[in-house]
């Protein structure tokens, strides 16, 4: 149980640090958020829990393929905000787009031999 709490606290601290930095320096906050820190932490936790090279390789590769459909959200949200739409509407539409693109990736990926 302590291990789970430590993982949650460290992972949550990372998000808190990013949001605090982004308040003063939005670009630098974006840079930190764009680093694959959460993915790296996830891989460390996964390796500690299950040190299986094939499982880790599959996980890392799937992470790569799932990053791609999430990228358009980071262009759509600022475009919507700059055109006067509210934050929560922009966020919801961006998330909906990402979900749709994830679904498309899950449907198309296996047709190209991707194990997702």
Residues 94-110 have pLDDT tens digits of: 999 999 999 999 999 99
Please tell me the pTM assigned to this model.
0.77
**Does residue 34 carry a pLDDT above 90?**
no
Q: Render pLDDT for 57-98 as a digit per residue (tens, 0 to 9).
A: 999 999 999 999 999 999 999 999 999 999 999 999 999 999
Q: What burial letters (b/e) apply to 5-42, b meaning 16+ CB within 10 Å?
A: eebeeeeeebeeebeebbeeeeeebeebbeeeeeeeeb
Phi, psi torsion values for 71, nearest 5 degrees: -65, -40
What is the mean pLDDT of the segment spanning 23-42? 89
DSSP 35: S
As a whole-number percent, the residues of the chain with pLDDT over 90 amount to 73
Phi, psi torsion values for 100, nearest 5 degrees: -65, -40
What is the mean pLDDT of the segment spanning 33-45? 88
Q: Estimate to the nearest angstrom the gap between the alpha carbon of 71 and the chain centroid.
A: 9
| pLDDT at position 116 | 80
| pLDDT at position 11 | 84
| pLDDT at position 78 | 98
């Amino acid at each position: 149980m302590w291990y789970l709490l430590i993982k949650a606290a460290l992972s949550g601290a990372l998000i808190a640090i990013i949001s605090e930095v982004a308040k003063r320096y939005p670009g630098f906050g974006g840079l930190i958020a764009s680093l694959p820190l959460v993915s790296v932490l996830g891989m460390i936790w996964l390796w500690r829990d299950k040190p299986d090279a094939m499982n880790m390789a599959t996980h890392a590769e799937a992470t790569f393929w799932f990053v791609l459909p999430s990228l358009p959200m980071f262009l759509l949200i600022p475009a919507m905000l700059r055109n006067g739409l509210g934050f929560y509407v922009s966020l919801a539409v961006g998330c909906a787009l990402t979900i749709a693109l994830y679904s498309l990736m899950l449907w198309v990926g296996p047709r190209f031999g991707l194990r997702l």
